[in-house]
Amino acid sequence: MNTIPLEALPVWAIIADYALGLIMWTLVGRAAFRLFMAEDSPFFFNRIFIRLTDPVMKAFRWVTPSFLVDPLKPLFVAWFFFMARFYLMPWLLGYSVMGMLSFPLEGEVAAVIWKILRPGW
């Protein structure tokens, strides 16, 4: 894996990336739940995703096109967080390009999955 080690990144960058990544993936989760159930469903996890992401959705309401169907709106907002992580974070850190799978949050998750699936390696 061609990633930047966490030790090489400043603490503020790791915290910012984790926060942006958690918001982004929570928005993706909300959109995924909307594919299978109504927004007013009493399912516990669905209610959690909606409660966590409603403030973000309200904050981005002014840039979300009105012609988008409601289930796609969280994906549209998640795209802003992805773009910030992919373009803004490397620029703030002074990198020209970080490359795919170089996000600290996803890199840590991938490392844990790799250790689980390949314990002897």
Locus of tokens 């373009």: 87
Q: What are the tens digits of pLDDT across the range 41-92?
A: 888 888 888 999 999 999 999 999 999 998 899 999 999 998 888 877 777 7
Instruction: Tell me the residue length of the chain.
Output: 121
CA distance 113 to 6: 17
CA distance 119 to 55: 40
What residue type is 56 in one-letter code? Answer: V
Taking residues 29-35, report their average pLDDT.
Answer: 90
